[in-house]
Structure 1
Amino acid sequence: MLAAYAARTDADQPLNALQVGELDVASTPGGQQTPDDWVEVELRAAALNHHDLFSLRGVGLSADQCPMVLGCDAAGIGPDGAEVIVHAVINAPGFSGPDTTTDPRRSLLSERCPGTLAERIRVPAANLIAKPAELSFAEAACLPTAWLTAYRMLFVRSGVRPGDTVLVQGAGGGVATALILLARHAGLRVWVTSRSAERGERAVGLGAHAWFPSGERLPERVDAVLESVGAATWSHSINALKPGGTVVICGTTSGAEPSKAELTKIFFKPLQVVGSTMGTREELVGLAAMLVATGLRPVIDSTLPLTAAADAFARLESGAGFGKIVLTAGRN
């Protein structure tokens, strides 16, 4: 079947490792490990994430696991004909905790088992939730990774309340655009940073109250910083917080080794540093319900057919997109 997959890994030129074409997924290393009791979903739409680029670079994916179908996010038609959204977190057999993100042996689709950028997907039946009729397949496909990550950062991990001020580091990516929209609709004052005036103004157009050049001193300190950039913005994030404030970090797209750890400021102020990753199935249900209730919809940068996955990945790598890049099923 048609799939977009990592034929190998390439740390320096990840797009060279991407292949788009026919693939017998069941015969791949990951496909051979897929349990027999998983169910099949017919793809309608899938969204790209930086996780896919990391996989092509060999981060979390080894050469002997290739070819590996990429993709974490999907919406489609389940085995009973119902419209579904796929939750991307795969728990280890026997895990039984209330918070599936704390499973030390968890993985995401496309890490050990084939991902979602294929005409048909196999997943645990428990990873399917009902797609609300109010959401298009493309909109629904944006939720399981970036939007779920943002939802958990804000409403589970940050401790903020309506009226508080939050800073979103970076403007334009999937997590950042989700954070802006969710935070504004939750009654928070939302500030963002960006290296681009154009992207900063677009963030204000989405609902941010103000934008500031990356690293610029803010008019006042904030209650929480929502951090996905990492090394490039870490010191600014710590310095931007009120005493007792919280930085919630979900990723390190600029690298994981900041020049300064800022430990003295963290213990003296004292600040909270909170990690956050993905979200639970129940939180994905809550996120979908929030979008239906509020009318919020994911920002979609572009929609391309699965056959044009190479173009979609090139746009993702360039950083030129604003919002999510979506691939749709079909060969045209």
Structure 2
Amino acid sequence: MRAGVVSSFDPDNPLNGLSIIDVPEPENREHWTTVDVKAASINHHDVWSLRGVGLREQQLPMVLGTDAAGTTPDGRRVLVHAAIGVDGHGVGPRERRSILSEKFPGALAERVSVPTANLIDIPDDMPFEIAACLPTAWLTAYALLFRGAGLTPGQSVLIQGAGGGVASAAIILARAAGVTVYATSRSAAKLHRACELGAIPIEHGERLPQRVDAVVETVGKATWSHSVASVKPGGIIAIAGATTGDATAAELARIFFQEIRVQGVTLGTRDELTALVNFVAYNKISVPIDSIYTLTQLPQALGKMIDGNLFGKVVIVMETQ
């Protein structure tokens, strides 16, 4: 079967290590299911893998990809939850948690094998291309908003770095839940798109009209001071990434004096993914897709992500679908 793989590491030019090659079919394992992939989506995790972060030379070639939607041998339309090893489903109770493409082959392939417990049914009217956007960025956004920040209707949130997959998903989900959303970006075009999604635009570093109940932080160093200054006393900063690096100063004096809680979030649970699918379907949420490529066009798709000139998810469809 065809797959997009990491064949070598190149920290400076990650696409140099990307190959589209034939790889062995997934092995049959008890309590695991092989899914015929109809659509997948890419994430920054794929770029980091190509740079050699989280992988070792002896693991190569490793199939990339964490997000996929497709069909099982018995015809179920399913979404794949990317976290492997949680609760020991199919891999033993002491299996260290990982995500697809770290220890087990990933989803950017014609077929992917995962623990059967990791499969989430999707509605018949949900396109595979939409479903494939949900397991990483959208699930992280859902967990940030409703578990990490504990937001409820009528509250307010600042979302830093509008335009990224997590941030744009968080804007849409928060607005659908009745939360007032402020959003920042250095890009005027991305800030305009955030406004179209229902956010109140805030220039990078600008003071908010009022402090918010929570901040969703995925940027890190470039926005951290603004996040700490923008949250109410007793509020929450929910963080799931630091694309610009760790903050130079942690602002600890303000954090303890204002009794601000900092809550880390990594992905979300299978139950949260099920809830997310239902939330998107019930509210008829439009999931923004920036562009769609075939597996053969994976280099162009990842190149677009590296350039950062996108808004929403980049989806890969299988030519064999």
- TM-score (structure 2 length as normaliser): 0.95
Gapped regions of structure 2 (runs ≥ 5): none
- 230, 238, 246: which one aligns with 2:236: 246
Pairwise CA distance, 1:134 = 2.3
Q: 1:92 to 1:240 in 2, by over 3 A?
A: closer
Deviation at 1:189, TM superposition (A): 0.6
- Provide the residue aligned with 1:116 in structure 2: 107
Instruction: Please state whether the residue corresponding to 2:232 is helix, strand or coil.
Output: strand
Query: Match of 2:136, SS?
Result: helix
The AA in structure 1 aligned to 2:201 is: W
Contact 1:158/1:224, CA 8 A, preserved across alignment: yes
Contact 1:9 1:62 (C-alpha < 8 Å) held by counterparts:
no
Runs of 5+ unmatched residues, structure 1: 97-102
Q: Which AA in structure 2 matches 1:87? A: H
Deviations 1:167-223 (A, max 9, x none): 000111111111011000111110000001111011110111x11122222222111
Provide the rounded CA distance (Å) in 1 between the counterparts of 2:228 and 2:29.
44
Alignment-mate amino acid for residue 207 of structure 1: G
Q: 2:282 is paired with a residue of what secondary structure?
A: helix
Q: Secondary structure at the match of 1:105?
A: coil
Q: Choose the corresponding residue for 1:217, options 207, 226, 237.
A: 207
Q: Which residue of structure 2 lines up, in the alignment, with residue 75 of structure 1?
A: 69
| 1:52 maps onto 2:46 in alignment | yes
The Cα shift of 1:159 comes to 2.0
Match of 1:199, as an amino acid? K
**Aligned mate of 2:142, from 126, 145, 151:** 151
Q: CA deviation at 1:25?
A: 5.6
- Deviation for aligned residue 1:104: 8.7
Please tell me whether residue 282 in structure 1 is matched to residue 276 in structure 2. Answer: no
Name 1:130's counterpart in structure 2: 121
Say which of 270, 290, 293 aligns to 2:259.
270
Shift of 1:310: 0.5
Give 1:180-219 correspondences, 5 Å limit. Answer: 180-208=171-199, 210-219=200-209
Match of 2:13 in 1: 13
* Per-residue deviation, residues 239-285 of structure 1 (Å, max 9, x unmatched): 11111110000111112x21111111110111000001111111111
CA separation of 1:289 and 1:92: change in aligned 2, threshold 3 A = closer
Query: Offset at 1:302?
Result: 0.3
- 1:56 aligned partner, one-letter code: L
SS of the equivalent of 1:24 reads coil
Instruction: Give 3-state SS (helix, strand or coil) of 2:254's partner.
Output: helix
- TM superposition score normalised by structure 1: 0.92
Distance 2:57 2:86 in 1: 22
SS of 1:144's equivalent?
helix
